[in-house]
Amino acid sequence: MKISAISTIVLRLPFQHVGSPLLFAGKPRTAMEMLLVRMDTDEGITGWGEAFGPGIWPATCATIENLVAPLCIGHDPAQISTLHEDLQRKLHALGRSGSVVYALSGLDIALWDIAGKSAGLPLCRLLNSAPKRDVPAYASLLRYIEPSLVGRKSAEAVSRGYGHIKLHETGVVQAREARAAIGPDVRLMMDANCPWSVADAVAVARELRDVGLTWLEEPVWPPEDYAGLAQVREQGGIPVAAGENAGNVMDFGQMFSARAVDYAQPSIIKMGGVTEMLKVLKLAQSHGVMVMPHSAYFGPGLLATLHVCAAYPASTLIERYYCDLDASPLGEVINPVNGRLVVPQAPGLGADPDPAVIRRYQTL
Ligand SMILES: [Mg+2]
């Protein structure tokens, strides 16, 4: 089999939101942007991947079309690790994170989808002969800022079956409001998205101690200050999570050596796809670090994360971005049942994007 064509499709999916406008990369976020990677083969099997696109899809698409696709056409899609390493080596001078690695991630996920479809097996069974059938999901709330709204949305997510809630807030008052709304038994996390100095992060972490957070995520600016994160862990008194901005397994090695995190959060569409994720999982296990993947997206990247979590023997939660889209290209498989995402059992990732949803929401 040979790779015959690679193309990109960008969708803008409107979503429901209340309260303050949601900001992303310095701009209001009015739709969830999804960058699909379609890989065709000369034997008629099509694989689907997802590359990180929100805010950066013009660059990621150009990287795929101009740099990555020409290096892949004509190759055997079954040689995943060889092709993956070849692309990493050839493109390393153009960046070890950012759009180059986002592009590689989308390609890699499509290759694994093809591998599963060729074998007639769901991806999780390619990776493990006895995978889990479902994975507990946590509701990853949007940022609401207004404390009473944070409490209301937290309680709403619990009423919809979630047993784990994550806030995207920076205030202690919002964390307390959420805890009061959901009671003591639901697990609660808070994602700050890199706002503080190390000293400020330690101070906030200490104030948050009695809220009972399972983790405080990305408390420190800049995100790659692993020594700083280690200091917050040591002095703040609550567990720390980070990793969605790491570009490859070497970054995670440095993070683990620095004892920076209790929970590692590789993002499959940002750090190299399934192939690189498997390396991070192995490394995390050898360091005794738990993995809680970042998957605040809704396409093949979410499904790939689900399959990898299902195949991983240790327990994980999967991140489900808590917002209702006007339409899901993957239909219902991305919606949890009783707080758990069920692994689709069709070959490959288990579901292809719906052409009708693509036609309706395609922007490029
Ligand atoms: Mg995060």
> What is the pLDDT at residue 19?
87
Tokens 């023997």 found at:
313
Distance 75 CA to ligand 1 centre (A): 35
Distance 294 CA to ligand 1 centre (A): 7
Tokens 């397994």 found at:
249
Residue (of 240, 303, 241, 239) closest to 277 by Cα position: 303
Tokens 């099509």 found at:
46
Distance 223 CA to ligand 1 centre (A): 11
b/e sequence 179-189, b meaning 16+ C-beta within 10 Å: bebbeeebbbb
Architecture of domain 125-361: Alpha-Beta Barrel (3.20)
Distance 293 CA to ligand 1 centre (A): 10
Distance 194 CA to ligand 1 centre (A): 9
> What is the pLDDT at residue 218?
98
Structure tokens that stand for 28 in this block: 């209001």
CB atoms within 10 A of CB 84: 19
Distance CA 13, CA 15 (A): 6
Chain-centroid distance of CA 148 in Å reads 28
Instruction: Confirm if 81 and 104 have CB atoms less than 8 A apart.
Output: no
| H/E run at residue 114 | helix 99-119
Q: How would DSSP label each residue in 127-170? A: H-SS--SEEEEEEEEPP--SHHHHHHHHHHHHHTT-SEEEE---
Q: How would DSSP label each residue in 246-261? A: --SHHHHHHHHHTT--
Residue (of 157, 200, 104, 99) closest to 322 by Cα position: 157
> What is the pLDDT at residue 364?
82
Show the CA angle centred on residue 253, arms to residues 249 and 259, nearest 5°: 140
Distance 169 CA to ligand 1 centre (A): 11
Distance 191 CA to ligand 1 centre (A): 6
Query: What sign has the CA pseudo-torsion 92, 42, 39, 275?
Result: negative
Label residue 331 exposed, middle or buried (CB < 10 Å: 0-12, 13-18, 19+): middle
pLDDT in tens, the chain (364 residues): 999 999 999 999 999 999 888 999 999 999 999 999 999 999 999 999 999 999 999 999 999 999 999 999 999 999 999 999 999 999 999 999 999 999 999 999 999 999 999 999 999 999 999 999 999 999 999 999 999 999 999 999 999 999 999 999 999 999 999 999 999 999 999 999 999 999 999 999 999 999 999 999 999 999 999 999 999 999 999 999 999 999 999 999 999 999 999 999 999 999 999 999 999 999 999 999 999 999 999 999 999 999 999 999 999 999 999 999 999 999 999 999 999 999 999 999 999 999 999 999 999 8
Distance CA 168, CA 174 (A): 10
Residue (of 282, 164, 277, 265) closest to 217 by Cα position: 265
Instruction: Confirm if 109 and 38 have CB atoms less than 8 A apart.
Output: no
pLDDT, tens digit, 9 for 90 and up, residues 246-282: 999 999 999 999 999 999 999 999 999 999 999 999 9
Instruction: Confirm if 135 and 345 have CB atoms less than 8 A apart.
Output: no
Distance CA 212, CA 63 (A): 43
Chain-centroid distance of CA 4 in Å reads 28
The residues spanned by each domain of the chain are 3-120, 125-361
pLDDT, tens digit, 9 for 90 and up, residues 166-215: 999 999 999 999 999 999 999 999 999 999 999 999 999 999 999 999 99
> What is the pLDDT at residue 314?
96
Distance 11 CA to ligand 1 centre (A): 22
Distance 267 CA to ligand 1 centre (A): 10
46 φ/ψ angles, rounded to the nearest 5 degrees:
-115, 130
Q: Which amino acid is residue 83, in one-letter code?
A: L
> What is the pLDDT at residue 96?
96
> What is the pLDDT at residue 20?
86
Distance 118 CA to ligand 1 centre (A): 34
Distance 30 CA to ligand 1 centre (A): 19
Instruction: Confirm if 203 and 170 have CB atoms less than 8 A apart.
Output: no
Pairing of strands 134-141, 340-342: antiparallel
Mean pLDDT of all residues belonging to the chain: 97
Q: Which fold has domain 3-120?
A: Enolase-like; domain 1 (3.30.390)
